[in-house]
Amino acid sequence: MPKLTFYNLPDEKRQTLIQALKSEFSRVPLFEASVSNIVKAAGIPRGSFYQYFEDKDDAFFYLLNELAEQEKYNFLSILSMHNGDPFETAIDFYKRMLEEEEHFHFLKNALLNMTQKIESFFGRMITDPDKNSENFKATAALVDRSSLNISSEKELYHALQIISTIIFRNLAETFAHNLSPHESLANLKTEINLIKRGLVRESTLTK
């Protein structure tokens, strides 16, 4: 995460640096990103970059963490708007991510060059992996469980993890195969509906 000197920057200068980071990490994936390009776009000496971040990885994961926190808030807002329905929320959340031009290429580069560390950040975009976190508690409090076949907080947690996996797997597939937004959304809806309906025929459950 950034050093204290980054947070002590005047707001305008800090935002200029953030925009330079977004531009570079949207242009190319992390392993190809250039600190030289970042400092040139930000109009700062190369040495100043290292006063704010340990290295380019540190800067990249700062941006990814900020995005994860923003998306968690967005998911909660959409969940509230859909009266606690996690499935309609997932569809609406996914649709908005497809339409989000500002982060589109940044997300694409991150998802198509996935590492275990990057994956952990995407896993936090719906809800925190810690079932005792305030974010998970806030999400759990909003979910309407009246139509869900779950019996505990643990099962709700895993249900949300399944939904999260469906969202980001489909997003990665969209980027990898250049799917149209219409086709991508249709694929997501198919998978969400499969989860809603269940994969085992009712007539076989008692056998």
Tens digits of residue pLDDT in 87-111: 999 999 999 999 988 888 999 999 9
Rounded Cα–Cα distance for residues 156 and 161 (Å): 9
Query: Which pTM was predicted?
Result: 0.88
CB 42 within 8 A of CB 17: yes
* Arithmetic mean of pLDDT, 155-168: 93
Q: In the predicted model, is pLDDT for residue 78 greater than 90?
A: yes
Residue among 174, 145, 146, 171 nearest 160 (CA): 145
Quickly state the pLDDT bin for 125 (edges 50, 70, 90).
confident
What contacts 54, CB < 8 A, 6 or more positions away? 3
pLDDT of residue 121: 84
Residue among 73, 67, 71 nearest 109 (CA): 67
Q: Which residue has the tokens 């995005």?
A: 67
Rounded Cα–Cα distance for residues 22 and 181 (Å): 23
* CATH numeric code, 4-54: 1.10.10.60
The two structure tokens encoding residue 167: 């969202």
* Arithmetic mean of pLDDT, 128-157: 87
CB 122 within 8 A of CB 168: yes
Rounded Cα–Cα distance for residues 161 and 105 (Å): 24
Quickly state the pLDDT bin for 17 (edges 50, 70, 90).
very high
Q: Which helix (H) or strand (E) holds 176?
A: helix 153-177
* Arithmetic mean of pLDDT, 60-80: 94
Q: What is the share, in percent, of the chain residues with pLDDT greater than 70?
A: 97
If DSSP codes are grouped into helix, strand and coil, which group holds residue 198? coil
Q: In the predicted model, is pLDDT for residue 135 greater than 90?
A: no
* Arithmetic mean of pLDDT, 166-175: 94
